[in-house]
Amino acid sequence: MRFILFTQFMIVSAVACLASCKAIETPVKTYSAYSSSACKVPDLPDIDRLPVIKELPNPFLGLNGKIIKSKKDWACRRSEIGAQAQAYELGAKPTAPETVKAELQGENLVVTVADKGKSISFTAKITYPKAGKAPYPAVIGMGGSWINNEELAKQGVAVIQFPNNDIAEQLNGSSRGKGKFFELYGADHSAGALMAWAWGVSRLIDGLEKTPSSQINSNRLGITGCSRNGKGALVAGAFDERIRLTIPQESGSGGSASWRLSDDQKASGQNVQTLAQIVTENVWFSDSFKRFGQSANSLPFDHHSLMGMLAPRGLLVIENTSMEWLGNRSAYTASLAAREIWRAQGIEGNFGFSQLGGHNHCQLPAAQVPEVNAFVQKFLLDDSKANTVIFKSDQEFKFDKDAWISWKTPNLH
C-alpha cells in the first residue's frame, strides 16, 4: 500500500510539473554525447517545486510516473537521472567540443581542446607496464591512482594520471570558476569541479582514440581516484560510457554515500560530512546546489542512482569503515540500494562493494587487492572467469529496509 501511494504521488507530481512547474536551465541538450539513449528529458521543476522524499528515491520510476520494464527503458532512465544530477547537483557537462587533438611527447599525452573560439591544453602522464602487450588497457587515475599500481602493471595495465586540479581548482571555496575548463567555458559556467573533471576525462579519451601511437587500448579503460578524487572518478564514470570500469576509493559524501543517509547518520550523533557542510567547504558541486543545504530530502535522486548510472558497466566501490567522516554506514546502505539496479538487469556481478577499516585514508589494504584485480581482469582484460560477486564489510551496520526502500526491484528483460 505504501508503495502504491508513493507511486501515485510521483505520478501526480510529474504530471503537475509538466503542466505548471517553473523550469530551470535543463542540461538535456548538453548531456553526455556518449549516452546510449536518445531519450528526451522533459523540463525539470525548480527546486521550490520538488516534492519531499524521505526514503531513497526509486531509481526505476521514470519522470513519466511509470516503473520501467526493460533494459532499454533503463537506458532512458539513466538519461533522466543524469539530467537531474546535472540540473540540481553537478552542473552541466558541455557536449563534445569542436576539435580535440592529441600528441604523444615521450610518456606524456598532450591534449588540446578548441571550442567557441578558445583553446586549452593539458598533459596526462602515461606509465606503461613491462608485462602485457600493446595496445595496453589502462586505468585513468583522477589526480593519481591508489589501488596498487604495481599490481596493475603486473597484469599489463597502464596507468594514466589525469591532472584534475589543472582542469578545475579545488583548493577551497574561493576556487569557483578557476581552471582550464573555465578558461574555455567561462568562470560563470554551472559546472562544479567534479563535472569539469568529468568533461576533461572525456577529452582525454577523445585524445587517446585519436593517438594510436599512445599504445593505449581506448576500448579498455577504467578510472579510479581516492577521497575527493574518488567523487570525481564516480562522476566521470557515470557520464562517459566509454569507461568500462569505475573504482571510487573512499569517496564518501558526494561519492558512494547518500545525502539522505549521511544526514541520518549525523542525526544519530556521529561526525559525518553532510550536504549542508560540503557545499561550504569546496567547489566540487554547482553553486546552486547549496540551495539543498537544509533540504536534501528534496533531491529527486540520491547517490545510489548516480552509482546506478554506470550499469550495466563495472563498478567496484572501495570504502573504509574506520572513516566515520566519510559516512561509512551511509555508503554501505547506499551501495545496497545501488546493487539493486544491477540485480534488476541480471548482472549483479558487475557491481562490487568492499569496506574494510584499520588503515590510513587512501591506503589500499592487502585484503582488497584481489578484489580490485578481479574487476580489472573481468572488465579490462576480458577474463570471464574472474569472480566479481563481492559485497562485504568488516562492520555490522543495521539496515532498516522499510525506512529507506519503499520500492521493489523489477526484472528488466
Report the catalytic residues.
227, 361
Determine the Cα–Cα distance for residues 391 and 112; give it in Å rounded to an integer.
Answer: 41
Side-chain half-sphere of 71: how many Cα atoms within 13 Å? 10
Looking up cell 520538488 gives 50
Looking up cell 602485457 gives 132
Peptide bond preceding 212 in cis form (omega within 30 of 0): no
Residue 236, classified by CB atoms within 10 Å of its CB into exposed (0-12), middle (13-18) or buried (19+), is buried
Sign of the dihedral defined by the CA atoms of residues 129, 135, 138, 143, in that order: positive
Determine the Cα–Cα distance for residues 349 and 385; give it in Å rounded to an integer.
Answer: 11
Residue 410, classified by CB atoms within 10 Å of its CB into exposed (0-12), middle (13-18) or buried (19+), is middle
Determine the Cα–Cα distance for residues 246 and 411; give it in Å rounded to an integer.
Answer: 24
